[in-house]
Amino acid sequence: MQFHFLGTSAGSPTIERNVTALGFMPRGRKNWWLFDCGEGTQQRLLRSTLSLPKMNKIFITHMHGDHCYGLFGLLTSRGLMSGGEEAVHIYGPKGIKEMIHTVLKLSYVNLSAPLTFTEFDEAGELFSDDEFTISNVRLSHDVPSWGYVIKEKERPGVFDSAKAKADGIAPGPIYSQLKDGAQITLDDGREIDGRDYVGKSQEGRTALIGGDNDRPQLFGEALNKAAVMIHEATHTEEALASLSFKSRHSTAKRVALIAAENEVKNLVLTHISPRFLTKPRKGMKCVDEIEDEAKENFEGPLHMARDYDVYELDRDSKLKLIDSRYRKERQR
């Protein structure tokens, strides 16, 4: 699984960070999925390795503009591209269909690609194929906000071809049958059990993607040893306490504590308030404060997402940063 961070700022963009958008690329597939689409997401895509025409699913967490105002331009541009006629399925809270259709209608846009929608106001399973199941979870925010649980299905064990050859079973179509655990009678009369040549099945990994939310524990049982949790950490505890208004967002400490309690294997923090600068400056808040607060409460692998970062989750649930424009620029 790959996670492409296209925007990591909360509310409004900064010079370094755009508002929320996250690309999810399942390994070995040509299509990828978009989670949230803040204004300017298509500009971020131009500097990424993701192909807009190959995006065929969009998941919106809630209807605040920094999570969905980029949809109209992105869908319009996609419709003008070669390959952009493939259907796009959009998942989101009730109202997302009316919003998109209204803006496109009033701006006289006729998309070549059909749009289909799944709107919801209850939690449950939204999508399932031979590899993944995606469900939504109700979160806590100023408006109806949702998180998404990507659950990978159990994978069959690896076929041991070396053992099969050592037992005198020649390669051929019979290997496919053995991979499926079939009972086979060979030409020499031997009865072979395919299960003896297939390793232990691999448990599917779980990835959590949160919308705006001041109660990360609402992910419930899905938190238990999740492979990766991607969640907003808009404030530090100190910054939240200093606000003159009530903010229904999480702090780094709040998210880190929940991740630690549930033995989450990798934690990625995003959706950082514009009050926190990317680079330290005297007298100003810096994203390092978010990171430091999280580290005090979570001892596992912790990552601070930055625009254009690409992370890959391997089969052993190790999350690796495989591309970072920000870190490359800092090294110059």
* 64 assigned binding-site residue: yes
The helix or strand, by DSSP H or E, that contains position 98, with its residue range, turns out to be helix 96-106
The helix or strand, by DSSP H or E, that contains position 152, with its residue range, turns out to be strand 146-152
* 62 assigned binding-site residue: yes
The whole-number pLDDT of residue 44 equals 96
* 231 assigned binding-site residue: no
Residue 190 has pLDDT above 90, yes or no: no
* 101 assigned binding-site residue: no
pTM over 0.75: yes
pLDDT band at 329 (very low <50, low <70, confident <90, very high): low
Rounded CA-CA distance 52/72 in Å is 14
Assess contact for 149 and 208: CB atoms under 8 A: yes
The whole-number pLDDT of residue 88 equals 96
Residue 291 has pLDDT above 90, yes or no: yes
User: Tell me, what amino acid is at 78?
Assistant: R
pLDDT for 126-160, tens place per residue?
A: 999 989 999 999 999 999 999 999 999 988 778 88
* 271 assigned binding-site residue: yes
* Helices 96-106 and 71-79, axial angle in degrees (round to 10): 60
Residue 309 annotated to the active site: no
The whole-number pLDDT of residue 42 equals 96
Q: Which of 66, 214, 307, 309 is catalytic?
A: 66
Rounded CA-CA distance 274/201 in Å is 45
Assess contact for 172 and 245: CB atoms under 8 A: no
The mean of the pLDDT values for the chain is 92
pLDDT for 194-204, tens place per residue?
A: 888 887 778 89
Assess contact for 90 and 100: CB atoms under 8 A: yes
* 141 assigned binding-site residue: yes
Rounded CA-CA distance 253/216 in Å is 11
